[in-house]
Amino acid sequence: MELDARSSSLLQELLTNSGIRNKDLELKYGLSRRQIEYSFGKINDWLEARYLPQIKRTKTGHFLIHKALLTALSSEQNQQAGSTYVLSEEERTNLIILMLLSKNSDLSLLHFTDALGVSKNTILSDLKNAQAIAGAFELAVTYSRVLGYSLEGKEFNKRQALINIVYRTIDMYGGETWIKELSGADSSEIAALSRKMEAVEAKLNLKFTDEKMESMPYILLLSLRRIRQGQIVEGFHIHCDELSDTKEYQAVEEILHDLQGIPTEERLFFTLHLLTTNVSSMAYLSEDTLPELTRALDEMLSLFERSACVTLQDRGQLLDKILLHLKPAYYRIKYQLTIANPLQETIGKEFKELHHLVKQSSVPLRRLIGVDIPESETTYLTMLIGGWLSRQGDSLQQKIKALVVCPKGVCVSRLLQSTLRELFREFIFFDSLSVREFHSYALEYDVVFSTVYLPTDKKLFVIKSYLDKEDKYRLRQQVMQEMSGYSPSEFNMELIMEIVGKHAVIGNSHSLRVELEEHFRPGERASGKRDYDTRMPDLNGLLTPDMIRLERRADSWQEAVRLGAEPLLRRGAITPGYVEAMIDSYDREDPYIVIGPGLAIPHADPASGVNEVSMSLLRLEEPVSYSEAYPVQVIVIIAAKDKHQHLRSLMQLMQLAGSQEAVRAVIEAGSALEIHKVAVKFSKD
């Protein structure tokens, strides 16, 4: 009797992950509860036939595995990997790629069918899957009558694929045996490389994870084989100076000291592999942790706390824990050597809200490293932060999740989200969306704040794009009443202070009162002072007289944008590409940049060419038409370097736009200095 592929996979999963629950298996393998029960019935029949203890399942969905079973199957695993275990489609595909990357001779269909024990048609189907995996590494599976099957592409990409496939294979049932058999790896060579790696651990005072110690000798062996075959990594985009003075480079020199003719690029590649290999020893990080990485991570955790409305307890410990992961991940991400995360799909599904917030908060890391953080790496961050939240008893599921929908462009949307985030600090705000993005939004949410009506079965609050103090007060009253039956107007500070004083000693009653006010009445703080970042400039700090231009007329709104942008171009605050991007992004059917009678704020994506946060203003004596319904005389060019630094001045500009008297004063001004004086009046909170 033999196990089918599904039963084999489930058994292997339990042997390597005994803590997994029935529900986890359903999600991971896309199976129903009934299908899993059926497979475990077959597994237990198979075990019984072999006189092995059966697997039991508790009412809570956990599995009970007898130690004797683990011992028996582990000892058989490496000896009989191919005899009773039926490979899954994914495993066969990975093994085919492994054969292609480690081949010593030409490979034909016959080689694959013999090695994997399946039919020719099955192999042909697997080769199509192999092409899809190879494509992710910018490689292609090719065939010729002379050379058989091969992988075509850059050698660097092949090494990336090799590392990835070895990690995947070593994790599968009997993985090490499969690698040895299919690659022809010599056991004595593997043992020698393992001893060298242990020596490296001692020399560098670090401890690689068991998983990596198991994989690295094979990666080194197969890479050296490719080098001997003349497959050399070329066009290496890693700078020698950046890696050659590291301990890891010295370690590689020792590993390769008895091998002749290994090019510098290859030594750097091996160095990179060591740097990107996970370690489990903190001592390694304490010596040369990058200060910039620590700061970026700290900033990321702050963003996460703000987005998720949580306070991370023992934050320093969490930061150290994530640093342990991020040090190798830094090089892995920077040089695109990201490894597969087997839990990526599960985490993405089960903790998608948390994962979304972690990805949103990873901007400082992306800015530091210079590339997007891959999904597999943010999954690791989600796991670490999620575990920490569970430990301290926090759950995002209990919080109200909100969306902001605003068709009025990036700047106004961000300002609105920032205002709402401050007004409802107890909510989690996922995203600020356009109407089109909202209709295809995938995450679950509870409430929508929108400047336009939307068809939704969730709570919808239609609001203005700019909220003054009275608007905020009414909105908070309405929302809290409808969402939780609680009205902030019922808040009695004296009663709260009396209750607290009855049960606790109050050290500083003034500070307690201020913090309670901030919590229950955000936006109405006792001090009346907003908690803006001190780096945020005021409106008058940006709209200085030299950034203000007065003209009689412009032939078109496009010319008005170019005239208005000239002061910023002259100063180097923006590039010509940003000016064209502002013009290209304008939607005549939806002139969202017109924020009030006679006033428009053209802007575009900062990536289009913003060098510093800045503004300039053009005042025309004759109106220019953005559309038939929107003639404007005041055009304020907004250049936002990031999502936050311009929000303070933008809010002040929105206040100015809301005042007919102020807009008239700007239109009728006789000089740039007069307009600047108007800006000064609105440059306070």
Q: Where are the domains of the chain?
A: 5-77, 90-183, 187-276, 288-396, 399-484, 539-682
DSSP 7: H
What is the rounded CA–CA span in Å between residue 557 and residue 563?
10
> How far is Cα 65 from Cα 75, in angstroms, rounded to an integer?
16
The residues facing 596 across adjacent strands are 599
Q: What pLDDT, on a 0 to 100 scale, did the predictor assign at position 195?
A: 87
The confidence band for 119, taking pLDDT boundaries of 50, 70 and 90, is confident
Q: What is the pLDDT of residue 615?
A: 92
pTM of the entire structure? 0.48
Cα dihedral 211, 217, 221, 227, rounded to 10, equals 80
288-396 placed in CATH 1.10.1790.10: yes
Q: Cα-Cα-Cα-Cα dihedral of 319, 321, 322, 324, to 10°?
A: 120
pLDDT at residue 522 above 70? no
Q: How far apart are CA 129 and CA 165, in angstroms?
A: 14
Which of 38-42, 150-154, 325-329 has the weakest average pLDDT? 325-329
Q: In 3D, which of 315, 179, 314, 330 has the Cα closest to residue 242?
A: 330
- Mean of pLDDT values over 26-41: 80
pLDDT more than 90, % of the chain: 15
Could you report the per-residue pLDDT of 96-107, keeping only the tens digit for each?
999 999 988 888
Task: Give yes or no for residue 644 having a pLDDT over 70.
Answer: no
- CATH 1.10.10 is right for the domain spanning 5-77: yes
Question: 399-484: same fold as 288-396?
Answer: no
Which carries the bigger pLDDT value, residue 341 or residue 324?
324
When comparing pLDDT for 209 and 577, which is higher?
577
Sheet of 614-625, strands arranged across: 548-551, 614-625, 631-639, 598-600, 594-596
pLDDT band at 548 (very low <50, low <70, confident <90, very high): very high
pLDDT of residue 284: 38
Tell me what the mean pLDDT of segment 16-43 comes to: 79
Among left, alpha and beta (phi > 0; psi -120 to 50; other), residue 617 is: beta
Beta bridge partners of 62: 21
pLDDT, position 124: 92
Residue of 60 and 347 predicted with greater confidence: 60
Mean pLDDT of 512-528: 62
pLDDT digits (tens, 9 = 90+) for 575-626: 999 999 888 877 665 566 777 778 888 888 888 888 888 999 999 999 988 7
Q: Which H or E element spans position 330?
A: helix 315-334
Q: Tell me how far apart the alpha carbons of residues 31 and 15 are, in angstroms, rounded to a whole number.
A: 19
For the cut 90, the answer to whether the pLDDT of residue 93 exceeds it is: yes
What are the pLDDT digits (tens) for 71-86? 777 555 544 444 556 7
Burial class of residue 657 (count of CB atoms within 10 Å of its CB; 0-12, 13-18, 19+): buried
Q: Which of 126-130, 209-213, 235-239, 389-393 has the highest mean pLDDT?
A: 126-130
Cβ-based neighbour number of residue 502 at 10 Å = 7
- Sequence-separated (6 or more) residues with CB below 8 Å from residue 258: none
Average pLDDT, the chain: 80
Q: Which amino acid is located at 422 in the chain?
A: E
> Which two tokens mark 13?
């999963």
Q: Is the pLDDT of residue 528 over 70?
A: no
DSSP type of residue 338: P
The β-bridge relationship of strands 594-596 and 140-144 is unpaired
Provide the pLDDT for residue 7.
81
- pLDDT score of 100: 94
CATH 1.10.1040.10 fits 539-682, yes or no: no
Q: Strand, helix or coil at 269?
A: helix
How many Å apart are CA 193 and CA 510, to the nearest integer?
66
Q: What is the pLDDT of residue 213?
A: 79
Tokens of 173: 């049932």
- Coil, strand or helix: which one is 279? strand
List, for residues 128-168, the tens digit of each pLDDT value: 999 988 888 889 999 998 889 999 998 888 988 898 899 88
The secondary element (H helix, E strand) that includes residue 654 is helix 647-657
Percent share of the chain, pLDDT over 70: 82
Check residue 280 and give its pLDDT: 43
Least confident span in 225-229, 327-331, 553-557? 327-331
Q: Is the pLDDT of residue 344 over 50?
A: yes
Q: Which of 213-227, 367-381, 527-541 has the lowest mean pLDDT?
A: 527-541
Residue 674 pLDDT grade (very low, low, confident, very high; cuts 50, 70, 90): very high
pLDDT for 423 equals 84
pLDDT band with cut points at 50, 70 and 90 for residue 171 = confident
Annotated catalytic residue: which of 603, 644, 646, 676? Answer: 603
Question: What pLDDT shows up at residue 81?
Answer: 45
For residue 16, the tally of other CB atoms under 10 A from its CB is: 13
- pLDDT tens for residues 222-276? 999 999 888 888 765 556 666 666 667 777 887 787 787 888 888 888 877 776 6
pLDDT at 566: 94
Name the token pair of 355. Answer: 């994962």
CATH T-level assignment (fold) for domain 90-183: Arc Repressor Mutant, subunit A (1.10.10)
The pLDDT-based confidence of 341 (bands split at 50, 70, 90) is low
3-state secondary structure of 187: helix
**Considering only CA atoms, which of 674, 681, 677 is closest in space to residue 659?**
681
- State how far Cα 572 lies from the chain centre: 32
The C-alpha angle with vertex 598 and arms to 594 and 602, in degrees rounded to 5, equals 35
Task: Give the per-residue pLDDT at 410.
Answer: 67
Tokens 């008893």 correspond to 393
Residues whose CB is less than 8 angstroms from the CB of residue 602 and which lie 6 or more positions away in sequence, other chains included: 561, 564, 582, 583, 586, 593, 635, 636, 637, 638
Query: What class is the 399-484 domain?
Result: alpha beta
Helix (H, G, I), strand (E, B) or coil at 656: helix
Distance (Å, whole) CA 216 – CA 252: 12
Give the pLDDT score at 285.
39
603 given a catalytic annotation: yes
DSSP β-bridge partners for residue 142: 150
Structure confidence at residue 616 (pLDDT): 94
C-beta of residue 433 within 8 angstroms of C-beta of residue 479? no
**8-state DSSP, 574:** B
